Chains A and B, each alone.
Chain A
Amino acid sequence: MSVLVDEDTRVVVQGITGGEGKFHTEQMLEYGTNVVAGAVPGRGGQEVAGVPVYDTVHEAAREEDANASVVFVPPAFAGDALFEALDSPVDLVVAITEGIPTQDMARVKRKLRETDTHLVGPNCPGVITPGVAKLGILPGNIFSEGDVGLVSRSGTLTYQVVDDLTSRGIGQTTAIGIGGDPIIGTSFIDALELFENDPDTKAVVMCGEIGGEDEENAAQYIAEHMDTPVAGFIAGRTAPPGKRMGHAGAIVSGSGTGTAESKIDALNDAGVPVGDTPEEVAEHVEDLL
Chain B
Amino acid sequence: MRLHEYQAKQVFADAGIPTPASTLAETVDDAVAAAEDIGYPVAIKAQVHVGGRGKAGGIKLAEDAEEAREYADDILGMDLKGYEVDRVLVEEAVDFENELYVGVTMDRGEGEPVAMVSTRGGVNIEEVAEEDPDAIAREHIDPAFGMHPYQARKVVYEAGVDRAVANDVASVLQTLYQIWDDRDGSDAEINPLMITADDEVVAADAVFNVDSDALFRQPEIQEMEEEASGGDELEQKADEYGFDYVRLDGNVGIIGNGAGLVMTTLDLVDHFGGSPANFLDVGGGAKAQRIANALDMVFSDDNVDSVVFNIFGGITRGDEVAEGINQALEQFDEIPKPVTVRLAGTNAEEGMEILNEDLVTVEHTLEDAVQRAVEYAQEVDA
Q: Which residues of A contact B (CB under 8 A)?
A: 20, 75-76, 98-107, 109-111, 125, 137-139, 142, 152-160, 163, 180, 182-183, 207, 209-210, 212-214, 217, 233, 235-240, 243-250, 253, 255-256, 276-279
Given contacts A157-B260, A160-B261, contact A106 B112 (CB under 8 A): yes
Interface residues of B in 92-145 (CB under 8 A from A): 106, 108-109, 111-113, 126, 130, 142-144
Query: Which of chain A's residues has its CB closest to B268's CB?
Result: A277
CA of A14 to CA of B32, assembled, Å = 59
Q: In the bound complex, how far is the Cα of B142 from the Cα of A255, in angstroms?
A: 27
B-to-A contact residues, CB < 8 Å: 106, 108-109, 111-113, 126, 130, 142-144, 181, 184, 186, 211, 213-214, 216-217, 244, 246, 248, 256-264, 266-271, 276, 279, 281, 284-285, 312-315, 344-346, 366-367
Give min CB distance, A167 to chain B, whole Å.
9
The answer to whether B267 touches A235, judged by C-beta atoms less than 8 angstroms apart, is yes
- Residue in contact with A238 in the complex, picked from B143, B213, B276, CB distance below 8 Å: B276
Whether B260 pairs with A207 at a CB distance below 8 angstroms is: yes
Indicate whether A245 sits within 8 Å of B314 (C-beta atoms), given known contacts A139-B345, A277-B268, A277-B367.
no
Evaluate contact between B259 and A246: CB separation under 8 angstroms: yes
Q: Are A237 and B244 in contact (CB under 8 A)?
A: no
Q: Which residues of A contact B285 (CB under 8 A)?
A: 20
* Contact of A102 with B214 in the complex, beta carbons under 8 Å: yes
B144 touches A110 (CB 8 A): yes
Q: Of residues B113, B258, B346, B367, which shows the largest number of chain A Cβ atoms within 10 Å of its Cβ? A: B258
* Docked CA distance A209–B315 (Å): 21
CB distance from B2 to the nearest CB of A (A): 12
Closest 4 A-B residue pairs measured CB to CB? Answer: A154-B260, A246-B259, A156-B258, A157-B260
Contact of B258 among A107, A142, A155 (CB under 8 A): A155
In contact, A155 and B268 (Cβ under 8 angstroms): no
* Nearest opposing residue in chain A for B145, CB measure: A110
Select one of A20, A104, A111, A160 contacting B264, CB under 8 A.
A160
> Out of B130, B266, B314, which one reaches A138, CB within 8 Å?
B314
Residue of B108, B214, B269, B276 touching A103 (CB-CB under 8 A) = B214
Instruction: Name the residue on B nearest A244 (C-beta).
Output: B246
Partner of A245 from the list B130, B246, B345, B367 (CB cut-off 8 Å) is B246
**A106 x B261 contact (CB < 8 A):** no
Given contacts A110-B142, A237-B270, A255-B130, contact A182 B106 (CB under 8 A): yes
CB atoms of A235 and B213 under 8 A apart: no
Residues of chain A lying within 8 A (CB to CB) of residue B246: 240, 243-245
B366 touches A278 (CB 8 A): yes
Q: Is the CB of A235 within 8 A of B144?
A: no
- Show 29 A/B contacts (Cβ-Cβ < 8 Å), sorted by A: A75-B216, A101-B217, A102-B214, A103-B184, A103-B214, A106-B111, A106-B143, A110-B111, A154-B260, A154-B263, A155-B260, A160-B366, A180-B260, A183-B106, A209-B263, A212-B108, A233-B264, A236-B263, A237-B270, A238-B267, A239-B279, A240-B248, A245-B259, A246-B259, A250-B259, A250-B263, A256-B130, A277-B271, A278-B366
- Contact, CB under 8 Å: B213 / A101: yes
The reply to whether A76 and B217 contact each other, CB–CB distance below 8 Å, is yes
**Minimum C-beta distance from B370 to chain A (A):** 9
| Residue pair A236, B267 in contact (C-beta under 8 Å) | yes
Could you say which residues of chain B place their CB within 8 Å of the CB of A156? 256-258, 260-261, 312, 314
- 18 further A-B contacts with Cβ under 8 Å, apart from A102-B106, A235-B261, A238-B267, are A75-B213, A98-B284, A101-B214, A102-B214, A103-B181, A110-B142, A110-B144, A137-B315, A139-B346, A153-B260, A157-B258, A157-B264, A159-B314, A160-B261, A160-B344, A233-B264, A239-B263, A246-B259
